[in-house]
Amino acid sequence: MAKIVMKFGGTSVADLERMRIAASYIKEEVDKGNEVIVIVSAMAGETNKLVETVNSVSSFFDAREYDAVVSSGENVTSGILALILQDMDIPARSWQGWQVPITTSSTHSSARIMDICTQNVKAKFDEGLKVAVVAGFQGISEENRITTLGRGGSDLTAVAFAAKFDCERCDIFTDVDGVYTADPRIVFKARKLNRISYDEMLELASLGAKVLQTRSVQMAMAHQVPVYVRSSFTGKPGTLVCSEDEKMENRTISGIAHSRDEAKISIISVADRPGIAATIFGALSDHGIIVDMIVQNISESGRTDITFSCPLEQSALAEKALLEAKEKNLVNFHEILQDLEVCKISVVGIGMRSQSGVAAKMFSILADEGINIQIISTSEIKISVLVERKYMELAVQALHDKFELHTNRISSEQ
């Protein structure tokens, strides 16, 4: 008898009909003799509605109250899904974060899971329970306040349970079939990958492929939890996110990711002295700005320009943070330029480690389309570029085409 985790996202529990379909997937596993820990999100749209309400009260709200409010959607789905399973004669019960308990840090709205108590849930399995339905996305702090794990946090709850309960695998049910070589809404010929490594998935997740939350992939990698991404709508085979295997290693590029809503911010004529970058990015970090790509020009006569990208929605806050730092004389610069019309395109693949020339090929493909590259950032297995937003689809299409991602064959030419 194995334990597995099955996580159902918001669209997979959007209404009673969808929840009954989810229940049928759960029943399959119970019938195989498995004990199932189900992690649920709120019904699609519910959390957004609550977030909007909170935002309309105040723009500077107490994150502890925010969390108490926005966590309620998951409480509803966990209870209802437990009832549906019971109605199918499957021994099931719900747990809210505080009941497990799932203890987290006190960084409200983006808390980190510290521990998951297994005792209470295990005791119920020992008494004959078949399905534990757990509210995802939430936990409690040391102060006994409700915390939430940030967007996509239910993925994290799922992987954390799988790790903590030594589960055989963690199924993530969502509204897409799995991980594709590019966004199928943009690239018609995009192909579903059967397997993908944690490393690649991590790059794709953090680069804007919204299939899995980044931190959940990190945790899956750290604990070697096989994560199976699949659709609760089509029932088709999905994508297994796991350790690298031989077949994967022969692949140069696994996918093209894009992130639409980026902003480019340039700080013009900064006094160039040791520690200035630390001061600037420290100030940004203090305001919670997620800085992504960074470029610093060569210094001329003691002054330099620093350019970075961040999520579009944070650009106003970033400017505010920089102006504040200037006012406090922490940093001195001439002006701030913002470009709110940029996006990020990335190619990802573990094969890059052993193959050279991928970057050159990427730049040349973009150049052939007349797309100017504004910032470049690379890691061992990915190359990202910032380009004008209007070229986003063109860039993704061209890269997918020229890297021949629509075919399954192992290319050796690159």
Does 301 sit near a copy of itself (CB under 8 A)?
no
Does 78 sit near a copy of itself (CB under 8 A)?
yes
Q: Minimum Å distance from CB 150 to a copy of itself?
A: 18
Does 142 sit near a copy of itself (CB under 8 A)?
no
Strands 35-40 and 3-8: parallel
Q: Which is nearer to a copy of itself, 26 or 69 (CB)?
A: 69
Q: Minimum Å distance from CB 172 to a copy of itself?
A: 24
Which tokens in the block code for residue 367?
Answer: 């150049």
SS in 3 state form for 342-391?
Answer: EEEEEEECHHHHCCCCHHHHHHHHHHHCCCCCCEEEEECCEEEEEEEHHH
**Angle 29-35-38 from CA coordinates, rounded to 5°:** 80
Instruction: From 47-55, 249-257, 261-269, 350-358, give the range in contact with a copy of itself by CB under 8 A.
Output: 47-55
Instruction: From 96-104, 224-232, 233-241, 406-414, give the range in contact with a copy of itself by CB under 8 A.
Output: 96-104
Which of 39, 54, 162, 352 binds a copy of itself (CB under 8 A)? It is: 54
Instruction: From 6-14, 56-64, 164-172, 210-218, give the range in contact with a copy of itself by CB under 8 A.
Output: 56-64
Which tokens in the block code for residue 333?
Answer: 């610069």
Instruction: From 61-69, 104-112, 147-155, 388-396, give the range in contact with a copy of itself by CB under 8 A.
Output: 61-69
Does 47 sit near a copy of itself (CB under 8 A)?
no
Q: Which is nearer to a copy of itself, 62 or 166 (CB)?
A: 62
Residue 227 makes CB contacts below 8 A (sequence gap 6+) with: 159, 162, 169, 170, 171, 172, 201, 212, 216, 217, 220, 240, 241, 242
Tally of CB atoms within 10 A around 404: 16
Computed from CA positions of residues 282, 286, 292, 295, in that sequence, does the dihedral angle turn out positive or negative? negative
Residues 356-375 within binding reach of a copy of itself (CB under 8 A): none
Does 56 sit near a copy of itself (CB under 8 A)?
yes
Instruction: From 57-65, 214-222, 260-268, 339-347, give the range in contact with a copy of itself by CB under 8 A.
Output: 57-65
Residue 4 makes CB contacts below 8 A (sequence gap 6+) with: 29, 34, 35, 36, 37, 162, 167, 168, 169, 170, 171
Which of 21, 27, 51, 99 binds a copy of itself (CB under 8 A)? It is: 99
Q: Minimum Å distance from CB 100 to a copy of itself?
A: 10
Does 337 sit near a copy of itself (CB under 8 A)?
no
Going by C-alpha positions, the residue among 318, 307, 193 that lies closest to residue 257 is 193
Say how far apart CA 255 and CA 7 lie, in whole Å. 24
Going by C-alpha positions, the residue among 387, 357, 358, 361 that lies closest to residue 374 is 387
Q: Give the three-class secondary structure for 291.
A: coil
Q: How far apart are the first and last CA of the chain?
A: 46
Q: Minimum Å distance from CB 145 to a copy of itself?
A: 8
Does 144 sit near a copy of itself (CB under 8 A)?
yes
Does 322 sit near a copy of itself (CB under 8 A)?
no
Answer whether the bond into residue 101 is a cis peptide, omega within 30°: yes
Q: Which spans of this chain sit near a copy of itself (rule: CB under 8 A)?
A: 16, 50, 53-54, 56-58, 61-62, 64-66, 68-69, 71-73, 75-76, 78-80, 82-84, 86-87, 93-94, 96, 98-99, 120, 144-146
